[in-house]
Amino acid sequence: MKGNRIIGTGMGVPSRIVTNDDLSKIVDTTDEWIVSRTGIRERRIAADNEATSDFSAWAAIEAMKMADVQPEEIDLIIVATLSPDRLLPSTACLVQGKIGAKNAFCFDLEAACSGFVYGLAVANGMMPDQGVRTALVIGAETLSRVLDWTDRNTCVLFADGGGAAILRHEGGDNGILSSYMKSDGSAPPPWLAVTPGVSDLSPLGDKVSKDFAITMEGKEVFKFGVRALPDAVKGALNNTDGLTLADVDWIIPHQANLRIIDAAAKALDIPREKFIVNLEKYGNTSAGTIPIALDEAHRDGRIKKGDIVALAGFGAGLTWGGMILRW
Ligand code: ACO
């Protein structure tokens, strides 16, 4: 047991709400189609002057308040994102500047929708041996800036916002019990990619969008998600000292599609009520979905001290991963 525990959570989302009916005015879609295929009812979309570092900083400030941690106490900041403010500098350094965490070292991590789970695992590995006692791990995105708003296959799914967790080395039996991280780089890039590239400007098959935008083979990603979610939970459980599915109180899955979550619940034979789901309000914020759902469930008292919590992410790469925590 390493005794690295989440002592505070927070979330930061834009105030602008975009409903399915709003989207039906810009692409050929309906509220009924989006709700029945995905479960999403509305999402938050950034204002012109808002970026990933803003949602990250808002979430960080909430998490620090909850944890009663001062910015100077933070030793490490990781921002998991596929939509950084800029290629340089890292969004993590921008967040450091915004929150005044002057003693932290900072970097971004790109593992798409698995980014927050990967980020917690990386921070956990650095604690306390690399001099890290308090880490701030953030998953946040501004996906509205990498969407083709004429492509109804993608623009109805993705959204903006993020969440944060303060991880502290306390010793004891609570905190991160295990992690499990997987990648498969052999999947064809057009399944889920942003085009054009930065150093690679070659086209990705015939699915290239004309602008800087997410392209996706929805059906392939759907099938991958249905396999990856249960594997993430089971893989992380296998890495604990004997915990089983029956011990799990809550599963916080990546919030991509309600039908993927329903299928995972069935595959794992776990009651659907154990899955924390809020995608109807926020859509798919990629690295942001798990920390946003974690913060909501922690703040409203669903997750209680001693609960066994499983996080499970999956996304582009392909990447997927799980984590088991004793709260
Ligand atoms: N509104 C109305 N009709 C639509 C829309 C829309 N927004 N999008 C597609 N359609 C149409 C299609 O054109 C198609 O029409 P056709 O039959 O005339 O050709 C029809 O609806 C059915 O389309 P399908 O692709 O078969 O719909 P499906 O049931 O597969 O649902 C969806 C599509 C929601 C994208 C689904 O495949 C899915 O959820 N995939 C996984 C997506 C995902 O989770 N992505 C992110 C995961 S990883 C990450 O988060 C980065």
- Class for domain 177-326, per CATH? alpha beta
Give the global pTM: 0.96
Say which amino acid occupies 232: A
Cβ–ligand 1 contact at 153 (below 6 Å) = yes
Cβ–ligand 1 contact at 258 (below 6 Å) = no
- Rounded CA-CA distance 130/122 in Å is 11
Residue pLDDT, tens place only, 32-49: 999 999 999 999 999 999
Which token pair is 152?
């109804």
- State the pLDDT at residue 215: 87
Residue pLDDT, tens place only, 126-162: 998 888 999 999 999 999 999 999 999 999 999 999 9
Cβ–ligand 1 contact at 77 (below 6 Å) = no
Catalytic residue among 93, 113, 174, 298: 113
Cβ–ligand 1 contact at 262 (below 6 Å) = no
In the chain, what's the furthest Cα-to-Cα distance? 54
Residue pLDDT, tens place only, 197-215: 777 777 665 555 556 889 8
* Residue extents of the structural domains in the chain: 4-173, 177-326
- Rounded CA-CA distance 8/149 in Å is 35
- State the pLDDT at residue 206: 57
- State the pLDDT at residue 210: 59
Percent of the chain residues topping a pLDDT of 90: 88
Residue pLDDT, tens place only, 316-325: 999 999 999 9
Same fold? 4-173, 177-326: yes
Q: What is the Å distance from ligand 1's center to 257 Cα? A: 10
- State the pLDDT at residue 317: 94
- State the pLDDT at residue 199: 79
- The pLDDT confidence band at residue 192, using thresholds 50, 70 and 90, is confident
CATH number listed for the domain at residues 4-173: 3.40.47.10
Residue pLDDT, tens place only, 85-114: 999 999 999 999 999 999 999 999 999 999
Ligand 1 binding pocket mutation candidate from 28, 31, 37 (most atoms within 8 A of CB): 37
Mean pLDDT for 61-67 is: 98
Cβ–ligand 1 contact at 270 (below 6 Å) = no
- State the pLDDT at residue 205: 59
Count of all residues that appear for the chain in the document? 327
113 among known catalytic residues: yes
Residue of minimum CA distance from atom 44 in ligand 1: 256
Mean pLDDT for 53-75 is: 98
What is the SS3 assignment for 14-37?
Answer: CCCEEEHHHHCCCCCCCHHHHHHH
Residue of minimum CA distance from atom 10 in ligand 1: 153
Between 193 and 124, where is the model more confident? 124
- The pLDDT confidence band at residue 194, using thresholds 50, 70 and 90, is confident
Residue pLDDT, tens place only, 220-258: 999 999 999 999 999 999 999 999 999 999 999 999 999
pLDDT beyond 60 at 123: yes
- State the pLDDT at residue 223: 95
Cβ–ligand 1 contact at 251 (below 6 Å) = no
Residue pLDDT, tens place only, 297-321: 999 999 999 999 999 999 999 999 9
- State the pLDDT at residue 285: 98
Mean pLDDT for 190-202 is: 78
pLDDT beyond 60 at 176: yes
- Rounded CA-CA distance 87/93 in Å is 12
